Structure 1
Amino acid sequence: MRMSPFTYVLTPPSVFFFSRGLSASNHRNREDSWFKSLFVRKVDPRKDAHSHLLTKNEESNLYKIQFHNVKPECLDAYNQLCEETLPSIHNDKYYPCELVGTWNTWYGEQDQAVHMWRYRGGYPALTEVMSKLRQNKEFMKYREERGKMLLSRRNQLLLEFSFWNEPIPRKGPNIYELRSYQLRPGTMIEWGNYWARAIGYRQHNSEAVGGFFSQIGNLYMVHHLWAYKDLEAREATRNAAWQHEGWDEVVYYTVPLIQHMDSRIMIPMKASPLQ
Structure 2
Amino acid sequence: MAARVLRARGAAWAGGLLQRAAPCSLLPRLRTWTSSSNRSREDSWLKSLFVRKVDPRKDAHSNLLAKKETSNLYKLQFHNVKPECLEAYNKICQEVLPKIHEDKHYPCTLVGTWNTWYGEQDQAVHLWRYEGGYPALTEVMNKLRENKEFLEFRKARSDMLLSRKNQLLLEFSFWNEPVPRSGPNIYELRSYQLRPGTMIEWGNYWARAIRFRQDGNEAVGGFFSQIGQLYMVHHLWAYRDLQTREDIRNAAWHKHGWEELVYYTVPLIQEMESRIMIPLKTSPLQ
Encode CA deviations 1:126-169: one digit per residue, 9 max, x unaligned. 11111111111111111100000000000001110000000000
Matches of residues 1-275 of structure 1 in structure 2 within 5 Å? 20-29=27-36, 36=44, 46-57=57-68, 60-275=71-286
Match of 2:18 in 1: none
Q: Secondary structure at the match of 1:244?
A: coil
AA aligned opposite 1:201: F
Q: CA–CA distance in 1 between the matches of 2:145 and 2:98?
A: 17
Misfit runs of 4+, over 6 Å: 16-19, 39-43
Encode CA deviations 1:66-88: one digit per residue, 9 max, x unaligned. 00000000000000000000000
Percentage of matched positions with identical amino acids: 73
**Runs (5+) with no aligned partner, structure 2:** 1-22
**Runs (5+) with no aligned partner, structure 1:** 1-15
CA RMSD of aligned residues (A): 2.4
Judged with a 3 Å threshold, the aligned counterparts in structure 2 of structure 1 residues 240 and 45 are, in CA distance, closer, same or farther, namely: closer
Q: Secondary structure at the match of 1:185?
A: coil
Count the aligned residue pairs: 259
Match of 2:17 in 1: none
Q: CA–CA distance in 1 between the matches of 2:244 and 2:54?
A: 44
- TM-score, length of structure 1 as denominator length: 0.88
Point out the more displaced range, 172-181 or 45-54.
45-54
Q: CA deviation at 1:21?
A: 3.5
Q: CA deviation at 1:22?
A: 4.3
Q: CA–CA distance in 2 between the matches of 1:45 and 1:240?
A: 37
Check the 8 A contact 1:62/1:119 in 2, yes or no: yes
Q: CA–CA distance in 1 between the matches of 2:140 and 2:156?
A: 20
Q: CA–CA distance in 2 between the matches of 1:41 and 1:121?
A: 37
Judged with a 3 Å threshold, the aligned counterparts in structure 2 of structure 1 residues 20 and 47 are, in CA distance, closer, same or farther, namely: same
Structure with bigger helix share is 2
Q: CA–CA distance in 2 between the matches of 1:68 and 1:203?
A: 30
- TM-score, length of structure 2 as denominator length: 0.84
